[in-house]
């Protein structure tokens, strides 16, 4: 999902404090206390006038909005199923505990990455609503302004810049579940930002197999977007990634 607009992206200066927890009817929400002064379910209600919500684009699953408030400009996203699973339930997932919810897991991963200074949106708040054996979830993220997806920027985007962002993510032990040409954004300065960490994982030492899997998934996406041109662009990125790996080995 491209969460773009205008002025310049910012990682929000300074590390975020430890997240706060608030219990709500049927669930809970986790939030960044430095950004959220009035935590509550209203943060995830696109109909609430305080958010001044605007739908993100016309495609997708119609489950994301640009919003704004005292926490700044942000993107509100509700977790929705796609494909065959959506026939069973559009927005409910199997309950396996609060920390296993899609929203809390993604919030925690982004909080970890943002704390390391990696180029990802700062998480603002996440929530779940539990009922029986299932739950619904939503997340609120910093909006990366004036960015465009890599899929639209192959003529000007630097393969070295994108490789550097991916390599830094991998060095932190993070595996991206869907690294594609639309989940990498470029700002006006050419900096690469990584988004959509739903189902992502962090491990103390990320295996070479998982790293390669991410890169090959991106290659498939680039070929789908731009055929031979996408493949050539990926070849440059892959070479840059390999150089970074060899450089790190000698440090």
Is 194 strand, coil or helix? strand
Distance CA 202, CA 205 (A): 8
Q: What is the pLDDT of residue 251?
A: 54
Q: Note whether 137 and 129 are within 8 A (CB).
A: yes
Q: What is the pLDDT of residue 3?
A: 44
Cα–Cα nearest to 3, from 203, 184, 220, 164? 184
Question: Which residues make Cβ contacts (< 8 Å) with residue 150, sequence separation at least 6?
Answer: 157, 162, 181, 182, 184, 185, 186, 192, 222
The lowest-confidence range among 35-39, 90-94, 117-121, 192-196 is: 90-94
Q: Is 235 a catalytic residue?
A: no
- Taken in order of first residue, the domains within the chain and their CATH numbers are 20-142 (3.30.200), 148-249 (1.10.510.10)
Q: Note whether 45 and 183 are within 8 A (CB).
A: no
- Pick the catalytic residue from 178, 196, 198, 235: 178
Distance CA 207, CA 212 (A): 9
pLDDT band at 85 (very low <50, low <70, confident <90, very high): low
Question: How large a percentage of the chain has pLDDT more than 70?
Answer: 88
Q: What is the pLDDT of residue 6?
A: 36
Instruction: Give, in degrees to the nearest 5, the angle at Cα 175 between 142 and 21.
Output: 45
Q: What is the pLDDT of residue 115?
A: 97
The lowest-confidence range among 85-89, 135-139, 156-160 is: 85-89
| Strand bridging mode 72-78 / 134-142 | antiparallel
């Amino acid at each position: 999902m491209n969460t773009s607009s205008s002025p310049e992206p910012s990682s929000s200066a300074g590390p975020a404090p430890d997240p706060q927890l608030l219990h709500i009817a049927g669930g809970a929400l986790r939030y960044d206390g430095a950004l959220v002064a009035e935590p509550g379910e209203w943060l995830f209600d696109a109909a609430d006038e305080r958010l001044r919500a605007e739908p993100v684009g016309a495609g997708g699953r119609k489950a994301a909005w640009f919003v704004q408030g005292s926490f700044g400009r942000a993107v509100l996203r509700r977790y929705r199923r796609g494909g065959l699973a959506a026939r069973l339930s559009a927005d409910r997932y199997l309950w396996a505990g609060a920390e296993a919810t899609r929203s809390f897991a993604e919030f925690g991963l982004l909080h970890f990455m943002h704390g390391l200074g990696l180029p990802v949106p700062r998480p603002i708040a996440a929530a779940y609503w539990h009922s029986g054996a299932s739950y619904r979830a939503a997340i609120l993220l910093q909006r990366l302004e004036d960015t465009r997806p890599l899929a639209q920027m192959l003529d000007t985007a630097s393969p070295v810049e994108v490789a550097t962002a991916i390599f830094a993510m991998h060095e932190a032990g993070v595996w991206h579940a869907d690294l594609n040409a639309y989940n990498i954004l470029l700002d006006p300065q050419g900096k690469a930002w990584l988004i959509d960490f739903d189902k992502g994982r962090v491990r103390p030492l990320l295996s070479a197999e998982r790293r390669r899997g991410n890169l090959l998934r991106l290659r498939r996406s680039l070929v789908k977007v731009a055929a031979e041109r996408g493949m050539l662009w990926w070849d440059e990125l892959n070479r840059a990634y390999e150089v970074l790996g060899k450089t790190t080995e000698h440090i």
